[in-house]
Chain A
Amino acid sequence: MTGLLLLVPIALFLGLLGLAGFLWSLSSGQYEDLDGAGERILNDDGPLTRKTEKRD
């Protein structure tokens, strides 16, 4: 019983962590272009794009 008092909150906390992580990734726009994200791995000019985007 005392074990449960510890384990249930831990389980819930970890679950909430996952939920918070998902909500963060959602609000930061990571799901806006799922097809494109897959294709972008193959492009080797990533750093160039990132550099220019940082400038603004």
Chain B
Amino acid sequence: MNCCGAGLAAECTNNTKDLALWQRDEELRRSGRVMPDGTAEYVFSIPQIHCGACISAIEDGLLGVEGVVASRVNLTLRRATVRLDSPERAPGFLFDVIGKIGYKAMPLDMADQAHEQARQSSELLKALAVSGFAASNIMLLSVSVWSGAEGATRDLFHLVSAMIALPTVAYCGRPFFRSALAALRVRKLNMDVPISLGVILAVALSLYETFTGGAEAYFDAAVTLIFFLLIGRYLDQLMRERARSSVLGLARLAAKGAMVVLETGDIRYVPVDEIEPGMRVRVPAGERMPVDARILTGSTELDRSLVTGESAPVLAGAGDAVEAGTFNLTGSVDMEVLRPASQSFLAEVMRMLEAAEQGRGRYERIADRMARAYAPSVHILSASAFVMWMLITGDFHQSLYTAIAVLIVTCPCALGLAVPVVHVIGAGRLFQSGILMRDGSALERLAEANHAVFDKTGTLTTGEALATVSNLPEAEARIARALALNSTHPASRAVAQALAGTVPIEGEAITEVAGFGMEGIFDGRRARLGRASFVGEIAAVAPAGEGLVFAVEGGMSHAIAIAETIRDGAAQAIAVLRAQGIESEILSGDAPAAVGRIAKAVGIGKWRAGETPASKMARLEQLRDQGLKTLMVGDGLNDAPALAAGHVSFAPATASDAGRFAADFIFTRNNLSAIVEARDISLQAAKLVRQNFGLAIAYNFISVPLAFAGQVTPLVAAIAMSTSSIIVLANSLRLQRRNGATMATKRELVATPGKTIGAKA
């Protein structure tokens, strides 16, 4: 693919826009796969898909385009799969096609681990189906036995049950046996240990009964138990998978490679891990820096917000060093690579991130905490039942039978469902409100949080600048908008946005002078938009100050105020958190003045400016040592280690890849009320989990004495276990009840950014 690309690039090296397009094609191509029939398949994540009309709009829109063979939208995962007729066709145009239909597409890399995960859940579903089949058939036979089948008929039914149960337990029980073995190997007990022990002993005892012509076999209990537990396991897996696919789905086109300028002058696309020091790379405007490098030729403005958190663009020219991950705003530059990608600034942050994640791995889930107390007590109970019966009756068979009955009725069937069902329903409710959860333990941790830390740029603010243009005559406003529209600089975009009502005028020779501003000729007069000094050269009166200025040659200069926009609901969310006893503070990489202004606006008294990724992480560790459980909200690459070090963390969907990767929750709407809402749900979920545990323990209080007394027949065990599971399930479903908005209106609200969903508090 490089060969055809090189030719293409050589033609358009002068045009920085085409160069960026070409790079996009190359990167997308690497994420696609070639199908056996010679077509090429690409998968996009489109978070805005939300209804049937979206499906037909996207599918039909794509099918009408030349080169598209098939398109299929998956509403559940909010993805579109597009097949092109040949792998040679550049796939970049698909973004524009989907964009024209009105959606924003992001490419998905098919090579990642999402595949492995999908396989795992379909394995679980298969096991669930098999155990469901086995459970219903064995139950059918068991009911006949309980209702009075005797003699040869009973033995036959037991034998048939055994023939179904043995392969089922061997096949469907593997997830539990594996996890129990893993726990035992490190000399620990988890829930799966009593489960595996109970199932294996029940089957062994029943086999013995079957072959000696005994009256009571527990095949139904063993298989039903596995069936119920697999439901819990599957739901857990399903939730994690959906969250993961959504998080991955948001992956932006990060610099996965760069255009290397060869000595012959040709340009070749090289994946980022093959770039070596000393190579010469060309980075067009609108791309991220792939590696740490030094600028050789060209000058540009850089958005270093991912690195420093500072929002204002920085001017860079020949000789300046540039970190990987900074965004090239205005000009194409040629650079000399200083370090391989594995040693870049980006990689350094990633290493810090991993270290912090390991720290969080120490968190023990509620279910495991329960297991630590539950498993030993169950084993001791069962053993004491055996000893007691041996002392009283001296009958070995009867004693063993009672001990196994105790193990079977205490099998944590309801406990296995208690947590996952609540988490799945919680994740579903969050999903509907535009919040994605990475895994179930995040919901537990969120409920425990008692301190909040916010990043500023991109978190408390939207990261987009807001321009205030006043007293600009209509004719000049049209010129200013024309200039602003020709640049991707944040300030220009803000000006274009502020003047959205005016029609731009046709101009000539509109150019961007990197680091200074825009210039163009309109009706024979020069006009400039940019730095005060730059505009002052042509204005009648040199403007005072430093800010953004616009002027037409020989005319008045107009100052344009640029301010950060505070995210909707920021102040309210912080006030609500405070009312709930959670104090907030700001950690920002930006300058003190900017941070102080925002802190005042949102009502936070405690803030720190000029923070680096390492110092942010250190602050979070310090908070942890003080015994606080920190809720971290951030977006940038510089926040990533802090996000991972926090007890629980949030990132907006607009965050950097690293930020999203590190966060537990990702909110796709523009409003910070998402945090308050997620916390509400987490508190409800925590309450329900506690209730479920209470119910499960109450059940044991009734069933254990019965089993101890030798009164638990297979019939009693079957009824008791099913009832407790159903009660726990029914209780968990209460989380689904929502106050206020119905599902339909909520969906609409989520689908329309800008509109806000009122925080419930």
A residues with CB within 8 A of B: 1, 4, 8, 11-12, 15-16, 18-19, 22-23, 26-27, 31-36, 39-40, 42-43, 45, 48-49, 52-53, 55-56
B622 at interface by CB-CB < 8 Å: no
Instruction: Report whether B133 and A15 are in contact in the complex, using a CB–CB cutoff of 8 Å.
Output: yes
Nearest-CB distance from B91 to chain A (Å)?
16
Alpha-carbon distance A39/B52, docked complex (angstroms): 5
| Cβ-neighbour of B69 out of A31, A33, A56 (below 8 A) | A56
The 3 closest A-B pairs by CB, nearest first: A39-B52, A36-B75, A19-B133
Nearest-CB distance from B608 to chain A (Å)?
44
B39 at interface by CB-CB < 8 Å: yes
| Cβ-neighbour of B75 out of A19, A35, A42, A49 (below 8 A) | A35
Of residues 55 to 71 in B, which have CB atoms within 8 Å of A's CB atoms?
A: 55-56, 59-60, 63, 69-70
B384 at interface by CB-CB < 8 Å: no
Name the B residues within 8 Å of A45 (CB-CB).
Answer: 56, 59-60
Instruction: Report whether B130 and A36 are in contact in the complex, using a CB–CB cutoff of 8 Å.
Output: no
- In addition to A22-B129, A52-B63, 16 A-B residue pairs with Cβ atoms within 8 Å of each other are A1-B152, A8-B156, A18-B133, A26-B122, A27-B122, A32-B76, A33-B77, A34-B76, A39-B55, A39-B75, A45-B56, A45-B59, A48-B60, A55-B70, A56-B39, A56-B70
Alpha-carbon distance A25/B75, docked complex (angstroms): 19
CB closest residue in chain A, given B69: A56
Instruction: Report whether B56 and A43 are in contact in the complex, using a CB–CB cutoff of 8 Å.
Output: yes
Instruction: Report whether B69 and A26 are in contact in the complex, using a CB–CB cutoff of 8 Å.
Output: no
What are 16 sample pairs from A and B whose C-beta atoms fall under 8 A apart?
A8-B156, A12-B137, A16-B133, A19-B129, A19-B130, A26-B122, A32-B74, A32-B77, A35-B75, A36-B55, A39-B55, A43-B56, A45-B56, A49-B60, A53-B72, A56-B37
Residue among A1, A12, A22, A35 facing the most chain B CB atoms (10 A cut-off): A35
CB closest residue in chain A, given B63: A52
B residues with CB within 8 A of A: 37, 39, 51-52, 55-56, 59-60, 63, 69-70, 72-77, 83, 122, 125-126, 129-130, 133, 136-137, 140-141, 152-153, 156, 160, 164
Name the B residues within 8 Å of A4 (CB-CB).
Answer: 153, 156
Name the A residues within 8 Å of B141 (CB-CB).
Answer: 8
CB closest residue in chain B, given A1: B153
| Cβ-neighbour of A26 out of B129, B137, B160 (below 8 A) | B129
Name the B residues within 8 Å of A32 (CB-CB).
Answer: 74, 76-77
Nearest-CB distance from B97 to chain A (Å)?
15
Instruction: Report whether B74 and A33 are in contact in the complex, using a CB–CB cutoff of 8 Å.
Output: yes
Nearest-CB distance from A45 to chain B (Å)?
6
| Cβ-neighbour of B137 out of A1, A15, A40, A49 (below 8 A) | A15
Nearest-CB distance from A15 to chain B (Å)?
5
Name the B residues within 8 Å of A56 (CB-CB).
Answer: 37, 39, 69-70, 83
Nearest-CB distance from A40 to chain B (Å)?
6
Name the B residues within 8 Å of A39 (CB-CB).
Answer: 51-52, 55, 75
Alpha-carbon distance A42/B73, docked complex (angstroms): 15
Name the B residues within 8 Å of A55 (CB-CB).
Answer: 69-70
Name the B residues within 8 Å of A35 (CB-CB).
Answer: 75-76
Name the B residues within 8 Å of A31 (CB-CB).
Answer: 125
Nearest-CB distance from A9 to chain B (Å)?
9
Nearest-CB distance from A21 to chain B (Å)?
10
Alpha-carbon distance A37/B130, docked complex (angstroms): 25
Instruction: Report whether B137 and A11 are in contact in the complex, using a CB–CB cutoff of 8 Å.
Output: yes
| Cβ-neighbour of B76 out of A8, A27, A33 (below 8 A) | A33
CB closest residue in chain B, given A34: B76
Instruction: Report whether B136 and A15 are in contact in the complex, using a CB–CB cutoff of 8 Å.
Output: yes
Alpha-carbon distance A15/B135, docked complex (angstroms): 11
- Known contacts A12-B137, A18-B133, A39-B55; is-contact A52 B153 (Cβ 8 Å): no
CB closest residue in chain A, given B35: A56
Instruction: Report whether B140 and A49 are in contact in the complex, using a CB–CB cutoff of 8 Å.
Output: no
Instruction: Report whether A43 and B52 are in contact in the complex, using a CB–CB cutoff of 8 Å.
Output: yes
Alpha-carbon distance A2/B164, docked complex (angstroms): 21
| Cβ-neighbour of A49 out of B63, B130, B152 (below 8 A) | B63
Instruction: Report whether B63 and A48 are in contact in the complex, using a CB–CB cutoff of 8 Å.
Output: yes
Name the A residues within 8 Å of B63 (CB-CB).
Answer: 48-49, 52
CB closest residue in chain A, given B54: A39
Name the B residues within 8 Å of A43 (CB-CB).
Answer: 52, 55-56
Instruction: Report whether A36 and B37 are in contact in the complex, using a CB–CB cutoff of 8 Å.
Output: no
Instruction: Report whether A53 and B70 are in contact in the complex, using a CB–CB cutoff of 8 Å.
Output: yes
Nearest-CB distance from A3 to chain B (Å)?
11
Alpha-carbon distance A52/B77, docked complex (angstroms): 23
Name the B residues within 8 Å of A40 (CB-CB).
Answer: 52, 55
Alpha-carbon distance A11/B141, docked complex (angstroms): 10
CB closest residue in chain A, given B137: A15
Alpha-carbon distance A16/B136, docked complex (angstroms): 11
Alpha-carbon distance A33/B130, docked complex (angstroms): 22
Instruction: Report whether A52 and B51 are in contact in the complex, using a CB–CB cutoff of 8 Å.
Output: no
- Known contacts A15-B133, A23-B129, A26-B125; is-contact A8 B160 (Cβ 8 Å): yes
CB closest residue in chain A, given B70: A53
Residue among A26, A27, A36 facing the most chain B CB atoms (10 A cut-off): A36
CB closest residue in chain A, given B144: A4
Name the A residues within 8 Å of B52 (CB-CB).
Answer: 39-40, 42-43
Alpha-carbon distance A9/B39, docked complex (angstroms): 47
Alpha-carbon distance A6/B87, docked complex (angstroms): 57
- Known contacts A43-B55, A53-B70; is-contact A23 B126 (Cβ 8 Å): yes
Alpha-carbon distance A31/B12, docked complex (angstroms): 46
Name the B residues within 8 Å of A19 (CB-CB).
Answer: 129-130, 133
Name the A residues within 8 Å of B136 (CB-CB).
Answer: 15
Nearest-CB distance from B127 to chain A (Å)?
11
Instruction: Report whether B122 and A49 are in contact in the complex, using a CB–CB cutoff of 8 Å.
Output: no
Instruction: Report whether B133 and A52 are in contact in the complex, using a CB–CB cutoff of 8 Å.
Output: no
Nearest-CB distance from B225 to chain A (Å)?
19
Instruction: Report whether A36 and B133 are in contact in the complex, using a CB–CB cutoff of 8 Å.
Output: no
Nearest-CB distance from B234 to chain A (Å)?
12
Alpha-carbon distance A39/B73, docked complex (angstroms): 11
Name the B residues within 8 Å of A22 (CB-CB).
Answer: 129
CB closest residue in chain B, given A56: B69
Nearest-CB distance from A4 to chain B (Å)?
7
Instruction: Report whether B126 and A26 are in contact in the complex, using a CB–CB cutoff of 8 Å.
Output: yes
CB closest residue in chain B, given A33: B74
- Known contacts A22-B129, A52-B70, A53-B70; is-contact A36 B76 (Cβ 8 Å): yes
Alpha-carbon distance A53/B35, docked complex (angstroms): 14
CB closest residue in chain A, given B37: A56
Name the B residues within 8 Å of A49 (CB-CB).
Answer: 59-60, 63, 72
Name the A residues within 8 Å of B122 (CB-CB).
Answer: 26-27
Alpha-carbon distance A12/B141, docked complex (angstroms): 11
CB closest residue in chain A, given B141: A8
Name the B residues within 8 Å of A23 (CB-CB).
Answer: 126, 129
Alpha-carbon distance A35/B52, docked complex (angstroms): 9
Alpha-carbon distance A45/B126, docked complex (angstroms): 33
Nearest-CB distance from A52 to chain B (Å)?
6
Alpha-carbon distance A8/B403, docked complex (angstroms): 33
Alpha-carbon distance A12/B39, docked complex (angstroms): 44
Name the A residues within 8 Å of B72 (CB-CB).
Answer: 49, 53
Name the A residues within 8 Å of B133 (CB-CB).
Answer: 15-16, 18-19
